[in-house]
Amino acid sequence: MIPSAFEYFAPASVAEAISLLEQYGDEAKILAGGHSLLPAMKLRLASPGVLIDINKIAELRGVVINGSINIGAMTTWHTIEHHDGLKSACGVLPEVVAQIGDIQVRNRGTLGGALAHADPAADAPAAILALDAQIRTHGPGGERTIAAGDFFTDMLTTSLEPNELITAIIVNKLGAGEGAAYAKFPHPASRYAIVGVAAYVKMNGDKVSACRVAVTGAGPMPTRQGDTEQAMLNSDGSAEAIAKAAEEAGANMDVLGDIHASEDYRRAMVKVYARRALTTAVARARR
């Protein structure tokens, strides 16, 4: 189908994009990679009167690694997947991105666009939660930073304010004694997660001193698994400890059922993939 008519703008700066958002308000939609918005427009599920294409804003692209990792919101999946510095500093991010869609999707899709869209079956939000990332935004009132744990609020809904853009995602580098992993049961056609689990583990000697586990695909929004995290804390990270902690995964979250997988099946798979992600994360933390 053909989208309804719209005005098109391609600002060259964040300030110009914010000004356009203020000018056009609810009529306007931001265009990043376009893999979610454009199909919705073609089906007339979305009919913005104004499209603001932020692809020309150079300051929103690129990866900078110093004390932490700064990823511009318009950095493509392809760039993240093949970035040698990221593979060394936080290898789970390229690992997650390599499982997104296909080559065409990864060439156009962006990290900031995916987080702003907040698809409940997207891969990146689970990793961002498990890594305890910070999401930097810019709006009419200036800049602010949102913790990943406060960012996703419901299905396709975030804590972004009207007329606000994501500008960067800040992630800590993984050091000695830290490991992270992502385990995913993908839909065979779309490659979206029917269930995906990201896990972060920090070992202090033979004990787990920190753990974060996040699930995507199973519920209406990416969700931290507090009971699983608590079960892992101060454990020895053994297979038995991981299996016990994984049994807690999905217990206190809303789980969806659809034509691809029932609620009961997804609940079962959350436990399976939590165990897999934790097993790999612990093994990496012990290297």
SS (H, E, C) 140-151: CCEEEEEEHHHH
Rounded to the nearest 10 degrees, the angle between the axes of helix 263-285 and helix 239-246 is: 150
What architecture is the 58-171 domain classified under in CATH?
2-Layer Sandwich (3.30)
7-53 and 58-171: same fold?
A: no
CA distance 89 to 252: 32
First to last CA, the chain: 52
What architecture is the 7-53 domain classified under in CATH?
2-Layer Sandwich (3.30)
Q: Quick check: 159 and 151 in contact, CB under 8 A?
A: yes
CA distance 258 to 287: 40
Q: What is the pLDDT of residue 1?
A: 75
Per-residue pLDDT of the chain (287 residues; tens, 9 = 90+): 789 999 999 999 999 999 999 999 999 999 999 989 999 999 999 999 999 999 999 999 999 999 999 999 999 999 999 999 999 999 999 999 999 999 999 999 999 999 999 999 999 999 999 999 999 999 999 999 999 999 999 999 999 998 999 999 999 999 999 999 999 999 999 999 999 999 999 999 999 999 999 999 999 999 999 999 999 999 999 999 999 999 999 998 999 999 999 999 999 999 999 999 999 999 999 99
- Per-residue tokens: 63: 């990866």
Which of 232, 228, 176, 181 lies closest to 205, judged by CA?
Answer: 176
- Residue 127 one-letter amino acid: A
Domain boundaries, the chain: 7-53, 58-171, 178-285
Q: Extract the runs of DSSP E, i.e. beta strands, from the chain.
A: 7-9, 28-31, 50-53, 63-65, 69-72, 134-139, 142-147, 152-154, 157-158, 165-171, 178-186, 193-204, 207-216, 223-224
Which of 253, 250, 276 lies closest to 185, judged by CA?
Answer: 276
Q: What is the pLDDT of residue 80?
A: 98
Q: Which residues of 59-86 are buried (b: 16+ CB within 10 A; e: fewer)?
A: ebbebebeeebbbbbbbbbbbbbebeeb
Is pTM beyond 0.75? Reply is yes
- Per-residue tokens: 130: 């498990």
> At 194, phi and psi to the nearest 5?
-70, -40
Rg (the chain; Cα; Å) = 19
CA distance 42 to 52: 17
Annotate 123-189 with DSSP letters as a single string.
Answer: SHHHHHHHTT-EEEEEETTEEEEEEHHHHEEETTEESPPTT-EEEEEEEPPP-TTEEEEEEEEE-TT
CATH H-level superfamily of 178-285: CO dehydrogenase flavoprotein, C-terminal domain (3.30.390.50)
Q: What is the pLDDT of residue 262?
A: 98
Helix (H) or strand (E) holding 245: helix 239-246
DSSP label at residue 259: S
For residue 264, is it left (φ>0), alpha (ψ between -120 and 50) or beta? alpha
